[in-house]
Amino acid sequence: MAVSEVGGMIGLTIFTIWLSRRYLVETLRAAFGKLPKDKVETVERNEAMPYRWILLLIVFGFVGTTIVFMVMGLGVVAALLMPITLLVFLFADMRLYGLSAVYMRGWEHRMVFYRLLWPTAPDPLTREFVVTSLFSRREFDLVSSRLNEPSYGAFDSYRMSGLVQFPNRSVFKILLVVALISPIVVYLSEVWIGHTYGLSRTGICSSVYNCGAPWGQTAESWATLPNNEPWIPYMFLGIVIVGALSLLHARFLWFPFEPIGFLNGMSYNSLISGVWFPFLIAWVLKTVTLRIGGSKAYENYGLPLAGGFVAGSIVISIIGAVLGVVRFFVPF
């Protein structure tokens, strides 16, 4: 946990930003009017909005998030760490998801900055500590998050828009409308369904554990997140490993290893789901196809086969979701 999901994810964010520094500098120069007008029009052509507005949106979002958590009872430092945690780990998660379609599952690693702030749980527990540990543990995990899921949805939407040549600006408008409507609908629906049918019957809250057991909000459990002492040296080891893999993979074309592979192979997801095995199968099939039939066989048979497999899985998921909703209201 400390090596891959804590240090590895932090390292992925740091070194991805470092390797993209020239692009980021160019966007900042465009935002502050330091580029020629024709150059600005070129770099902003496919963006959802001008870089200046994007930068303002980031700043106001960061400040707004901090203020919201301060109103909830957090001090300035704890409130500032919430958007920082969100930025560092969601950025790495989106990178991981975009390149491998796998997310970093687990609650514990998103608590790392707060574990540095509170090496041990305060005694007695404070409102600031309890609110912080709850949000940093649950709200940054894909399975039960209200923060991760919009990010995955947005990145998926922009990726699909690029494939079908749909304007990014139109995608942003659609996402904005959805972001304004969906929280109201979802939360009101959860409250209504919970009071009408009971949360234990819905799957929203099938157990005390899923409903937010005080894991991390007691002195005993806090001492285990993201891991038992000593965990900080292992965190730095993960940063160094991912940093080295990132720099070597970017610098040398012949270097075969990628930090995404390290994170997928050494993560909690790999232990409980065996995500490395499908990647192994895909690699073997791809290698055999290219060796026997070349790129033509890969394009004519390999890609359609893989695409059909993915499409079939999606169809099964849609049918299953519809049947699950119907079965809940009309048992059969």
DSSP symbols for 288-312: HHHHHHHHHHIIIIIHHHHHHHHHH
Count of CB atoms situated within 10 Å of the CB of 116: 11
Give residue 203's region: left, alpha or beta (phi > 0; psi -120 to 50).
Answer: left
**Whether residue 312 has pLDDT greater than 90:** yes
Same domain, yes or no, for 141 and 267? yes
pLDDT band at 91 (very low <50, low <70, confident <90, very high): confident
Same domain, yes or no, for 165 and 308? no
Same domain, yes or no, for 249 and 230? yes
Same domain, yes or no, for 90 and 49? yes
Same domain, yes or no, for 198 and 279? no
Mean residue pLDDT across the chain: 83
Those residues whose C-beta lies under 8 Å from the C-beta of residue 220, and which sit 6 or more positions away, are none
Which of 108, 91, 132 is closest to 223 using CA atoms? 108
Same domain, yes or no, for 219 and 322? no
**Whether residue 204 has pLDDT greater than 80:** no
Last residue of a domain, one of 257, 274, 291: 274
Last residue of a domain, one of 233, 255, 274: 274
**pLDDT at residue 16 in the model:** 93
Out of 8-17, 72-81, 321-330, least confident range: 321-330
What is the rounded distance in angstroms from the CA atom of residue 10 to the CA atom of residue 14? 6
Same domain, yes or no, for 155 and 173? yes
Same domain, yes or no, for 115 and 12? yes
Same domain, yes or no, for 99 and 148? yes
**pLDDT at residue 208 in the model:** 47
Count of structural domains, the chain: 2
Count of CB atoms situated within 10 Å of the CB of 240: 14
- Reported as type and span, the H/E element at residue 197 is helix 168-197
Contact 32, 259 (CB under 8 A): no
**Whether residue 107 has pLDDT greater than 70:** no
Same domain, yes or no, for 297 and 208? no
Type of residue numbered 84: I
What is the rounded distance in angstroms from the CA atom of residue 40 to the CA atom of residue 268? 43
**Whether residue 242 has pLDDT greater than 90:** yes
Range of the domain at 325: 275-332
Average pLDDT in the 193-210 region? 65
**Whether residue 124 has pLDDT greater than 80:** yes
